[in-house]
């Protein structure tokens, strides 16, 4: 850096040089980051100007009004009072209309939905699966040929997963014991474990729950998972219970959206949303490469969230739900089949991932943020996007690059579904995020693996455990799922949020972030 500065000083001090030439030479000597910092502050200034444009326009009007009022004498005020008396009926009618309109607005506006608290399940230590244990176990089952074993080894090395993720009890046995009973055991272990923590931390009694939503994509027994919870905790007979199946990793946001809609109808109650996935009965024992990837990525996890529309809960709630935006691309055949449960040529069932998955996810994301953007982006970003779009249309010039809105101006934290390293990489690149914005997603993938629909809650718990969640901060949870779907939920922190009791990160957050291998 000193060399650059010396060169710049030398150019400026050259006698006889034209001033414009000297300035140009000096600019060439400036480091690139200085110019980028200048552009950053120019954009930040523009953002603040547009965000407070209306206020800046109103200030002169307010000043003129106050000036005129200060120049009025007692006689002027008396004249104004007499005019109001003469038009008493008009004044009363206008007041009545305003009161009536305000009452209708208050009665018909959507009820606020508060996230009181949530809990993430932390499996016991003995269910951890090291890479070498995973490979040895796969080899001992005798179901995989050498090519498939080598493929799984490479996926594990490049996946972004660490060596402390968890698999269910049945998959630690040799041979594995995938049965209906062991799958039920896994479901009960994770769901009841998360719910016990939730009820303990919130002091809410199970009988107070009016709405229950459970989502699990691949395991749907009879009676349902929601019925298992009703039976275990003795929930009341008129509870509004829902069980969502086959909706993939984005079903957690769908569950939140369903609970939100139910809370608009049922007054002064609580809603519990349980998001999980079941691995025991959905392990693939064949050799088709596209169906082996889920074995390497998916791990045990579950999250239970407590929502309420009670005004009294705002005082202790962590977040307020601001927006939910859901995008479904299932009308397209390629999108519909890109995550597909099927049998291979030997009759073994698994979930196949298409090679077009990332491209389809990108298209779904684009559609989703097209809807979400106008709801959350400041007017400065919306204007830039509109001007660029208009220029491309009017000039019909493909060289004009489309403007990518800066979502960092709308959100303070990002919880990107930890579906895999490639998913996080793509969103970091396409949304122009910095490493700290995707830290929660990468560390959740490393520590817990892909826990399907519950992963966005492990990520939120990481942000809280790091002490980064402050009052007023906005969080964007975004998840992808089979179908193909891209769903977003936006939350706003109501206070400086501390980690929930029994946080899954409470004994390990000091070790993170860890260095990720390339």
508 is catalytic: no
Where do we find the tokens 């009052």? 471
> Dihedrals φ, ψ of 160, to 5°?
95, 0
DSSP-assigned letter for residue 402: P
Can 417 be counted among the known catalytic residues? Answer: yes
Long-range contacts at 30-36 (CB < 8 A, ≥ 24 apart): 30/4, 31/1, 31/4
Q: Is 446 a catalytic residue?
A: yes
| Residue corresponding to tokens 């016991």 | 124
Q: Residues 450, 473, 486, 487: which is the catalytic one?
A: 450
Distance CA 242, CA 259 (A): 9
The span from the CA of 517 to the CA of 31, in Å, is 30
Element (H or E) spanning 197, and its range?
helix 180-202
Among residues 216, 282, 413, 487, the one annotated as catalytic is 413
Q: Are 200 and 192 in contact (CB under 8 A)?
A: no
Cβ burial of 123 (10 Å; 0-12, 13-18, 19+) is buried
Q: How far is CA 193 from CA 208, 227, 235, 251, in A?
A: 19, 16, 17, 20
The residues facing 476 across adjacent strands are 414, 490
CA 277/CA 455 separation, integer angstroms? 11
**304/216 Cα distance (integer angstroms):** 12
Q: Where are the beta strands (DSSP E) in 218-262?
A: 240-244
The single residue of 120, 216, 249, 415 carrying the catalytic annotation is: 249
Candidate list 120, 368, 417, 486, residue with the active-site label: 417
DSSP state of 246: S
Q: Which element (helix H / strand E) includes 296?
A: helix 289-297
CA distances from 294 to 350, 362, 364 (A): 9, 20, 21
Other Cβ atoms less than 10 A from the Cβ of 202: the count is 20
End-to-end, the C-alpha distance of the chain in Å comes to 29
Asked, as a colleague might, if the bond just before 175 is cis with ω within 30 of 0, I would say: yes
Q: Among this protein's residues, is 249 annotated catalytic?
A: yes
Rounded to 5 degrees, φ, ψ at 203 are: 60, 25
- The catalytic residue among 446, 473, 486, 487 is 446
Residue 499 is classified by DSSP as P
Residue 112 is classified by DSSP as: P
One DSSP character per residue, 42-70 reads: HHHHHHHHHHTHHHHHHHHHHHHHHHHHH
Q: Which residues does the annotation mark as catalytic?
A: 249, 328, 413, 417, 446, 450
């Amino acid at each position: 850096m000193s060399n650059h500065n010396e060169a710049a000083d030398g150019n400026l001090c050259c006698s006889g040089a034209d001033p414009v030439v000297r300035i140009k030479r000096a600019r060439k000597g400036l480091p690139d980051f200085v110019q980028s910092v200048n552009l950053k502050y120019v954009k930040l200034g523009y953002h603040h100007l547009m965000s407070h444009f209306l206020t800046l326009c109103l200030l002169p009007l307010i000043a003129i009004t106050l000036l005129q009022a200060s120049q009025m004498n007692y006689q002027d005020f008396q004249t104004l009072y007499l005019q109001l008396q003469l038009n008493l009926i008009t004044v009363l009618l206008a007041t009545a209309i305003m009161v009536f309109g305000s009452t209708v607005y208050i009665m018909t506006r959507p009820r606020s939905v508060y996230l009181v608290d949530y809990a993430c399940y932390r499996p016991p230590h003995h269910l951890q699966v090291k890479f070498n244990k995973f490979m040895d176990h796969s080899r001992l089952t005798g179901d995989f040929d050498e090519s498939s074993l080598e493929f799984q080894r490479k996926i594990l090395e490049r996946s972004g997963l660490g060596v402390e993720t968890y698999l269910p009890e049945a998959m630690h046995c040799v041979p594995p014991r995938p049965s209906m009973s062991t799958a039920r055991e896994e479901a009960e272990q994770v769901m009841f474990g998360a719910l016990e923590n939730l009820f303990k931390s919130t002091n809410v009694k199970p009988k107070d729950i009016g709405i229950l939503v459970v989502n699990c994509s691949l395991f749907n027994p009879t009676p349902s998972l929601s019925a298992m919870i009703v039976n275990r905790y003795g929930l009341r007979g008129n509870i509004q219970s829902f069980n969502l199946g086959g909706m993939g990793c984005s079903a957690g946001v769908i569950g939140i959206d369903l609970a939100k809609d139910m809370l608009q109808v049922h007054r002064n109650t609580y809603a519990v949303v349980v998001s999980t996935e079941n691995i025991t009965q959905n392990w693939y024992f064949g050799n088709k490469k596209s169906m082996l990837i889920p074995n390497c990525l998916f791990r045990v996890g579950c999250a239970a969230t407590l929502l309420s529309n009670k005004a009294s809960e705002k005082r202790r709630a962590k977040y307020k739900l601001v927006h939910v935006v859901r995008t479904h691309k299932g009308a397209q055949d390629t999108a519909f089949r890109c995550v597909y449960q099927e049998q291979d040529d030997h009759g073994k069932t698994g979930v196949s991932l298409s090679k077009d998955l990332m491209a389809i996810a990108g298209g779904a994301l684009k559609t989703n943020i097209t809807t979400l953007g106008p709801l959350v982006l400041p007017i400065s970003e919306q204007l830039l996007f509109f001007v660029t779009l208009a220029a491309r249309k009017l000039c019909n010039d493909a060289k004009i690059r489309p403007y990518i809105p800066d979502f960092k101006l709308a959100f303070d934290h990002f919880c990107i579904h930890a579906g895999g390293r490639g998913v996080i990489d793509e969103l970091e690149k396409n949304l122009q995020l910095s490493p700290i914005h995707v830290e929660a997603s990468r560390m959740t993938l490393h520590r817990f693996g892909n826990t399907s629909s519950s992963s966005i809650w492990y990520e939120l718990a990481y942000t809280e455990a790091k002490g980064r969640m402050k009052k007023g901060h906005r969080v964007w949870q975004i998840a992808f799922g089979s179908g193909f779907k891209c769903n977003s939920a936006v939350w706003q922190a109501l206070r400086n949020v501390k980690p929930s009791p029994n946080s899954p990160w409470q004994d390990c957050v000091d070790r993170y972030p860890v260095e990720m291998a390339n």
